[in-house]
Each structure stands twice: as structure tokens, then as C-alpha cells.
Chains A and B, each alone.
Chain A
Amino acid sequence: MGTALLIALLLLPLAGGVVVALLRGDDRVAKLVAITVALAELVLAVLAWLSYVPGAARIQFAGSVGWISRIGVHLSFGVDGIALAMIGVIALLVPVVIGAGWADKVPEGRTVSGMLSLILVQQSLMVAVFAATDVFVFYVLFEIMLVPMYFLIGGYGGARRQYAAVKFFLYSFFGGLIMLASVIGCYALAADRTGGGSFDWATLVAVTKEAPLSTQVWLFFGFFLAFAIKAPLVPLHTWLPDAAEQAPIGVAVILVGVLDKVGTFGFLRYCLPMFPDASRTLAPLVIVLGVLGVLYGSLLATGQRDLKRFIAYVSIAHFGFIAIGIFAFTSQAQVGAVTYMVNHSLATGMLILVIGMVIARGGSTSIADYGGMAKLTPLLAGMFLVAGLSTLSLPGTNSFISEFLVLLGSYPTQPVAAVFATIGMILAALYVLWLYQRIMQGPVRGAALIPSEPADAAPARTRIVDLSGREVAVLAPMVALIVLLGVYPKPVLDVVTPSVAATLTSVGAADPVVAQEGK
């Protein structure tokens, strides 16, 4: 049952993508088919969530078919709590993104069905990359995953979309190739130790974790670099602002919300269990990069003049928190990091959507072109604030749980880093509330809202209107989840905690024990 469910999750969007691609002639039908497929996928994800048993086998819903038998590659799939959480996020975001972009125009010469088809194919690949339990298959998916995204940015993006798409592709591809070197290294190691090569994740883990530290360090770096580019960690982040700026809004949501999480997922699934000694040795380095990311990303977010680049730097700061949480090696911090991956998708995903709605109304991505918009669009302003409050991790929103867990959990093992990262809380309040003030508060101002030419001279600008019913319907589930997961996060924590415990055990780390009387 579980395995069938996972196969359906993997293939449904792909099949949907093919069907949608064939519907070139009729945008409306293409949209309807796409949203139906996306909603069906969401139902499947909910079913998978319900049938997953937290605390039972580490990898559930497992299935495997031989592929390249000469070198022992199998199409093996299965999920743990972490992968399941990410698959849930994808399944949620894709219908939201399709709904949000319902009325968007595509560039000259492109079709709506093409874009939707690519989004669905992308969804399939992302589900697969999280579900893969064969390291070679993971590598292949890690690279192929770039292709639809390349076309989504390069084909449907803004004015400098070609540059951004190529930059995105090459950065990621380069990282992937270095990872390939490590993957082959692992294979060679396994062939050496066991007599027969394998790419099976569990088999490789058993071999590589016994390797000498120096070997582990080299192999670790191969994986780490690929994931650090993907995540992205400072200083490998510079592709993200360009990509996020040029990508269409919905694609930016998928890019920042899910695709980037493959990097942090990779830390958890590959770097830590496969190279435990190297992970422990190099943890301080990653923690420093994480803290750097938090502070650097936050300061740069504060200084941005462009709405979409702002989002990219906010995400860079948040990825810093996730990296700290993963490499602090306590269950609280790592559960925090995993839930951060989910919550960042919700909070930042919603922020991108809301910013997209602002841009759709004003026609400009420059922050300076807006001001006092709350007077014209109070509902949009309210949604903006909710997304912003979640972004700054206000208690009562989902992000608070994860940020709090990361910091609280990091403190026992990495006190200095935790304290510095906590400063990120102040900076988050600064960049969110300052942006809100500049765009929403005060008297109505800005070129995007008040046309400079007399109204009759220029083609009449569409009046700035508040959210439509469709837009509210797209955002409402996000708001509900943001509040629900902030007040009652237990269902997610319960699914994630056993998988994190397994990861920590495999890296040989245990929670610091507090000397307690009577316990």
C-alpha cells in the first residue's frame, strides 16, 4: 500500500505534465488539468502522511527495481520522516503556485501549458530526489532536476532571465559534478571493502562510515560543496538573488521553497550518515558558514532595493539557521532544522506570493516605487504582514517553533554560534518591518501606485484593487497552516523526531545529558 502510494506520488505529476504539454491550444483546459493533477497529488501526499508510522522502520514505503545491473544501480525509493515532510511541502506548494499564477501572462512566444507542464515535471523530479535511496539515482535526479528549472527561469522569467538561468544551471551543475566524483569514490570504496560495488544508500553508509577520517573528509567535501551551492550557503549564494529576481513568481516559490531544500536535505541524508567522522570534524566550519549566512543574509536583505532580491537574501539568512541546526548535533536543533525546511517554505513561499501580488498590481519590483499601499489594499497588507511575521519568527507562527528549536538546541553544543545567530532575530524584525513600512504604511506614494503622467495621456493604468477571491483562496490555507503549525506543531515534530534521532545516532552524536536530580 505504502509503496504503491509512493510510486503514484512519483509518477502522477510526470504523467500530468505530459498531458498538459499536449494541451498547447487551450490555456484554460491546461490550467484545469494541471490544478486537478496538483490537487490529486496533494491528496496522495496526505494519504502518505497518514499511513506513515513514525518511529517504525527508518525508511518506509520502500521499493526497488534493478536498473544498471553492471554497476549495481537500482531504482530504489523510500521515505523517512524528513523526506516525507519535504514531499508534503511540494505537494502543498504546487497547487498553490498554480492557483496564484492563474491570471499571469507568459512571455511572447511561450505557452501557459508549457510552463505548467514544466512545473509538474519539476514536481515529479523533486519528489523523486527526496525519495531516492540509491545514491547514483539521487545524483542523476539531482542533475536532471536542473533542467525543467533552467527552462522555467530561462523561458518564462524577467528581462535578464537568460543570464540568471545559465548562472543557476552552471553553479548547480558544477556542484553536482564534484558530487559525482564523491559518489564514484564511495562506489570504489565499497567495491574495495565488500568485493562488489553498490550504490545502495544503506550499503554505502555501512562502508563509508568506517573509512578513515582523511578519506571521509575528501568524500564529504564532494557532497558538501554540491549541497552548499544548492542550499545555498554564503559565499556560494550569488546565483540565488539573480535566479529569484528573474524567475516568475510561482517558479521562485518552488525554487526557494523546495528545490533549495535538496541541499539541506542532502546534508542530513548523505553527509552526516555516510561521513560521520568528517561531519563531526568539519562541523565547526559549517556552523561558522551558517552564522555568517544568518548575519550576512539579514544585513543584505535590509539593504536591498528590489523586492525579489530581498526574498533571496532572506532565504540565505534562513538557510544559515538550517545549517546551524543540522550541524549542532542535538536532536532539538536538528528537528528545528528539519521543521525550518518546512516552515521556511510556508513562510517565505507565502511572502513571495504576496510580493508577487504587489508586483502584479504596481508593475514594478523596485521597493521605492511603492508606499502606503495598505490604504488601497488592506487585505493584501494584512496578508503581507502575516507572511512577514512568520518570516521574523513571531511566536504563534510556524517559524518560531523551528527557529527557537534551532537556537535552543544549538546552545548546549555551540553556545557562541547560537548567541550570534540569535542576533539574527533582531535583524529579521528590522528587514521585515522596514519593508512593510516602506511598502504598506504611511500616505499613498510611489511611481507604481500614482502614475506620474496625467491619467488621460497614458493608457489608463488599472486601478489598484485589493485581493480577489482567488487570491484569498490561495493564501488562506497558507495562513491557516502558519498559525496551526505555530500553535500545535506536535504532529510534524512527532514524524520528524525519530528520523532525526536515527540521523544523529548514525553520526555518533547524542544529546548532551543534563545532570538532574530525581530524573
Chain B
Amino acid sequence: MTGSSLLAGGVHPAVHTLDAASASADGVAQFAWLLLALPLCGAVVLLVGGRSTNKWGHLLGCGTVILAFCYGLALFLSTTASSVAGRVQELHIFSWIPVNALQVDFGLRIDPLSVTFVLLITGVGALIHVYSVGYMSHDADRRRFFAYLNLFVAAMLLLVLGNGFVTLYFGWEGVGLASYLLIGWYQNRPSAATAAKKAFLMNRVGDVGLAIAIFLMFANLGTTQYSEVFARIGTLPSGTILAISLLLLLGACGKSGQFPLQAWLPDAMEGPTPVSALIHAATMVTAGVYLIARANPIYDLTADGRLAVTIIGTITLLIGCVIGCAYDDIKKVLAYSTVSQIGYMILAVGLGPIGYALGIIHLLTHGFFKAGLFLGAGSVMHAMNDEVDMRKFGGLARKMPVTFVTFGLGYLALIGFPFLSGYYSKDAIIEAAFGQEGWRGWVFGGAAMLGVALTAFYMTRLMLMTFFGKQRWKDLRSSEGEEFHPHEAPAVMTIPMIVLAIGSVGAGFFFTSDNRIARWLEPSLGELRETGHGPIPQLWLTVLSVGLMVVGAGLAWLFVGRKPVPVTKPEKVSWVVRAARYDLYGNALNEALFANPGAALTRALVTADDKGVDGTVTGVAGLLGFLSSWLRRTQTGFVRSYALTMLGGSVLVVAALLMVRFA
């Protein structure tokens, strides 16, 4: 598989010892840089070209991503066609940061894991680009929107394709920028700007973890490239490995909205809905799962690190479910659902070799159905003058049949309805969690199982409030005072929804039958291992989870389906609901712990700097103060003040010389 490798050219000063499993890229993979170049060119042309590209900007935006998807397919086919041993390839592009021992390569790693993500990102990305042509058609700045979306796709592809932790970091912060720009899209809303800034900041907290993990790798291994880090990580003491794994987890928490950094993701719903679907549901927020799966040789070596990952995933999946039950904003419910579902994925990858593939499979199926659900929500908002309050919806099923059916399939897939996507991917995780030894099996498995009931509850509540019941919007007016006239979306929007709905139905079975995806990912994630058998037989687990799903859905029907939904939010609620409405006090905690003390400290420092530090330094130099006023009064003072300060200087010189002599 070496063939005409780019590495063999000898231009590269650093000799990277590729690990045994990887070869230099050849054939189709030689052109993998196109994956980055295509969307990047789109973004640059649209941003630099400015208004002159307004007419065709959206077409260029879609075109680059569709082309990237086509190339991704070719790459996938050529990878499957090669022998299993040759499926991990590296493509060196240029030497990025070379300083003596540090040799950061700008290169791509083409292996089953990255190729899988390429298909997800460009595939779902292309659908959402197409959808956005319709969704953003009324926005005068649509061209710039496509520029940002293209920028996002390029950065996300770099994130998953980079062949080292620093290239990953490049993509990691790059998607953060795209996310920042798109969350803050609606310029008129101050809340959008605040949400964008919050997302970037909380991500940066995670990024600091990722950065320090990279510093640790360099300090201990002298490299940051995957192939070298993974080959030598085993030589490090277990404490260092644990530290690296926890710092990577911090990074994952920031990007993936995991506890304790989950609060930015629901606020990110300020962005246009296609952005929520692509960035804040299907791709970017799952980067944390990718990171942990990618770093599997590190996590394999640290049981404590894996346990921490599992605990974070478990806590987050419950937080997401509970808060999701209390919100009336359709996008926020879906956002917390995303938080919770990523919790499942993080839980899965924390289980180690048995779980990496399970986490990725759930990530893929989730990519389909959650993107579909968000596009459906966007379609509803499009029809309802951008209203997001589900209390003002109701009975929309008949007005928007395509949206209803596609959304309904996504809903069934998410709650784990038998034989749809989520059923396969989520049940496998629950089963693996129960398979853990001792208390872990019961705690993690139990929490994952409880999550099933809660998920069914909040999603059924969402379905009922939106598509069923009385058409409450008939007696209401929009915030601009107009009547609501819900209608089905145009084909450019419904077709992507239909495609994603098909994925929501079939992907789970397709991916898991015959362990198809798990086997395909083996060269990246290690050999597939059987889930251990827990205290409860598998059949019983399936029965239990389906049963809990029915219970959750039934409870939702009891609460909102059976009786009319009040248009205004009831204020007399239990403390649980109140806490959930306040995001379980996550934001309040952040404010009390960081924001308020930080602001107070800053105010104090500003005062101290003006009065204290400046005063002291200027005061101690009393002579200087005197001189300065004197200097200002005398017009010819320059020479004389020179003389005086020279005198002072000479005294110092003599003093210094004396000290030197005596020393």
C-alpha cells in the first residue's frame, strides 16, 4: 500500500514513524485534501466576493458540499475495497509547526472512523444545505449564511480527518467559530449575541482541557501525532494516562454539552434551525464522542478514566431528560434531548472496547433522526411565523402532513420504538451498561433505562402539543400581530426531511445487523468484543425498555393528550418542574461560582490599578513626579532635566559599581 506516497518524496524533514497499522495514502485517498478545500473555497469565495455573489451564493454553497459528499463516497468505496490491513492511511500535506523536537504535521488520517464521519458530515450537511435554500430564502444575507455553513463543514472535516491532536484542535476551535457566527446570526436579538458568546466561552473552557492534554502528551512523549502518541502511550505511568484521559474528557464535555458544561447548548438554539440541526445536533456536538473514540488507545489503558467518562455520560443523560420534560420551547426540548442522547453516547464510549462502536453507531442514527426532527421543527416554525412555543401549536398534523409523518418517524426512532433506528442503537448501549460488573451495571444500566421512559415522556408530550389536539393557534396572533396560516413547506425543504426520515427508520437495522458498522470500524477502534452478560437476560432488557417507553408515552398522554393544553404556562408547579425550567439551576450555579465573583474581581482590579498600582509606582518615584511637573513648566527644561536625571543615574551607577565590587 505504499506506492506513490507523498511521504516518500523526502521533502518532509520530520521522519514520522507511522504505526504498524497505517500506510501512506494512495489511490483515491491522495485527493482527500479536496474534502477540506471544496467547502473552504466555497466559504472564501462567498465571504470575499461579498454581495456580488448574492445571486448564486447558495448554489455554490450547496455545490461544494455535494461534491465533497461524492468524493467522500468514492473514498468510502475505495477504502472498503482495500484489504482490512490497508484501511488506515495517512496523507501528509505540509509541515505545520516544526520547532526542533516538536513536529506538527498538517496531515489527514483516512481510516474507517474518519471516513464514516466524512459521510455523516457531508451527507447530512448536503441535505441541510439544500433545506437552507428554502428556509433562509427570506433572509437578505442568505449568501453569508452559506459561507458560514461551508466554513463549518470544512472545519468539521478537518476535526475528524486531522492526523494528530493539534490538527484536531484546529478543527475543534474552527467549528467553535462557525458555531459562534451562526448562533449569533440574528443580529437584532441581543439574546443571540449573548448565546453565541456563551457557547464560545464554555467551549473554550473545554478547549483548555484539550490543550493541556496536548501539552502533557508533548512533555511526556515528544509528539502530538496520533500514530506516535498511540504507539507509545503505554510507556507512560498510569497517573499521566489518567490525567490525559480526564483532560480530553473536559474537552469533550465542552464541545458536546456534557455536564458540567451543558448550559450553552440549549441557548445555542438562538441560531437558525438548520444550524441547530447540522451543528447542534448531528455533527459538531458529537465531536466529544469522536474524540474519546479516536483516543481509544489512551482510554483502553485507564479504567478510572473510562469510569469518569461513563459517570459524566450518565449524569448528563438524566439531566437532559429531566429538563427536556419541562420546556415548552420546541427547539429547547430537542436541544435537551440532544444533550441527553449524547450522554448515552458518552456513556457508551466510556465502557471501553465494548462501547466505542456502540457510541459511534448511536451517534450515526442520532445524526439521522435528530437532524430530521430539527428540520421538522424548522418546518413548523416556518409555517408558524417563527413561533417556538408549543403551547401555541396544536393540531398541525393535518395542515402539514409531510412534516408530520417525517417528524413522527424521527420521534419513533428517538424513543426507541421497536425496529426503528434508535431501538437498535440505544438498546445496545443499555445492554452494555447493564453488562458492567457489580454496582456499575445496576447504576449505569438503571439510569439508561430510566432515560428511556423520560425520553418517551418528553417526546410524546412534544408530539401531542404540536401535532395533535385543538388548533390553539387559531385564536392567537404572532408577536407581529398577524394571524397564523400554517402550511406545508416547499419541496426543497421536505425532500431532505424525507431522506432523513428514511434514515431514521432503516439506519439502525442496517448498521447493526451482522455487526456491520462495528466490524467496519475495527481498524480504528480495535477488535469488536462481546458485551458482557449482566444480571438480567437480554430479552428481559428489551421487554423492559419497550415497556418503559410505553409507560413514558402513556404518562405524557395523561398529562397533555387527554385534556386541553393551557396556552400560557402554568405557574403553580412542583419544585421538580420549577427546577427543570431553570435548567436544574445550571446557569445560576455558573453565575454564582464564576460570573459574579469574576465581575466583582474585575471591578476591584480596575479600581486598584488606577488608584493603587499606578499610585504606588508613581508615588515611589517621587522624584519623577516632581520632575514631571517641573518638566512641563519649563520650556527649555529638557536639557536641565536630563542633567538632573543624569545626576541621579550617576549616583545609581556608582552604587551599582560599588555593589559589583563588593560582591
Q: Which residues of A contact B (CB under 8 A)?
A: 162-163, 166-167, 170-171, 173-174, 177-178, 180-182, 184-185, 188-189, 212, 214-215, 218-219, 222, 234-238, 296, 299-300, 302-304, 331-332, 335-336, 372, 374-375, 382, 389, 394-396, 401, 404-405, 407-409, 411-412, 415, 418-419, 422-423, 425-426, 429-430, 433-434, 437, 441-443, 487-490, 493-494, 497, 501, 511-512, 514-519
Contacts and interface: CB of A to CB of B under 8 A. Distances in A.
B635 interface: no
A426 B222 contact: no
Given A238-B613, A511-B100, A425 B190 contact: no
B197 A332 contact: no
Given A374-B187, A433-B201, A441-B193, A303 B94 contact: no
B603 A303 contact: yes
Contacts of B99: 331-332, 335-336, 405, 409, 493, 497
Given A395-B169, A395-B174, A514-B220, A425 B211 contact: yes
Interface stretch (B81-89, B332-340, B624-632): B624-632
Interface in B509-563: none
7 contacts: A188-B657, A303-B603, A303-B605, A418-B212, A426-B204, A493-B99, A519-B17
B98 interface: yes
Interface in B619-659: 621, 624, 627-628, 631-632, 645-646, 648-649, 652-653, 655-657, 659
A425 B614 CA distance: 26
Contact of B624 (A170, A433, A497): A170
Contacts of B208: 422-423, 425-426
Contacts, number: 204
B20 interface: no
Contact of B193 (A407, A437, A489): A437
Nearest to A214: B663
Best-buried of A163, A303, A515 by chain B (most CB within 10 Å): A303
Given A300-B605, A405-B99, 5 more contacts: A374-B187, A395-B174, A408-B218, A514-B220, A514-B221
Contacts of A433: 180, 196-197, 200-201
B469 to A, nearest CB: 37
A493 B97 contact: yes
Contacts of A419: 212
Contacts of A389: 177
Contacts of A437: 193-194, 197
Nearest to B100: A331
Nearest to A501: B100
Interface of B: 17, 47, 94-102, 166, 169-170, 172-174, 177, 180, 184, 187-190, 192-194, 196-197, 200-201, 204-205, 207-208, 211-212, 214-216, 218-222, 232, 235, 598, 601-603, 605-606, 609, 613-614, 616-618, 621, 624, 627-628, 631-632, 645-646, 648-649, 652-653, 655-657, 659-660, 663
A189 B660 CA distance: 9
A10 to B, nearest CB: 25
A215 B618 contact: no
Nearest to A418: B215
Given A181-B653, A212-B663, A493-B98, A407 B215 contact: yes
Nearest to B102: A332
Contacts of B215: 407-408, 411, 418, 422
A395 B170 contact: yes
A304 B95 CA distance: 40
Nearest 3 A-B pairs (CB), nearest first? A177-B649, A514-B222, A441-B193
B197 A394 contact: no
Given A426-B201, A437-B193, A497-B100, A177 B218 contact: no
A442 B190 contact: yes
A422 B211 contact: yes
A192 B173 CA distance: 57
Contacts of A178: 649, 652
Contacts of A487: 96
A426 B205 contact: yes
Contacts of A511: 100-101
A238 B101 CA distance: 39
A375 B186 CA distance: 11
A434 B197 contact: yes
A56 B257 CA distance: 51
Contacts of A514: 101, 219-222
Contact of B617 (A163, A235, A490, A493): A235
Contacts of A518: 17
Contacts of A422: 208, 211-212, 215
A489 B166 CA distance: 14
A364 B197 CA distance: 25
A178 B656 CA distance: 9
B204 A425 contact: yes
A281 B266 CA distance: 51
Nearest to B206: A426
A434 to B, nearest CB: 6
B545 to A, nearest CB: 40
B62 to A, nearest CB: 23
A235 B609 CA distance: 9
Best-buried of B174, B193, B621, B624 by chain A (most CB within 10 Å): B193
Given A184-B657, A332-B100, A441 B609 contact: no
Nearest to A189: B660
Contacts of B196: 433
Nearest to B50: A379
Contacts of B603: 303
Contact of A302 (B17, B170, B214, B602): B602
A166 B631 contact: yes
Contacts of B218: 332, 408, 411-412
Contacts of A182: 656
Given A375-B187, A412-B219, A300 B614 contact: no
A300 B606 contact: yes
A189 B659 CA distance: 12
Best-buried of B192, B194, B201, B602 by chain A (most CB within 10 Å): B602
Contacts of A501: 100
Contacts of B649: 177-178, 180-181
Best-buried of A170, A188, A189 by chain B (most CB within 10 Å): A170
A375 B216 CA distance: 44
B258 to A, nearest CB: 18
Contacts of A423: 208
Contact of A185 (B601, B602, B660): B660
A224 to B, nearest CB: 13
Given A303-B602, A407-B211, A441-B193, A235 B187 contact: no
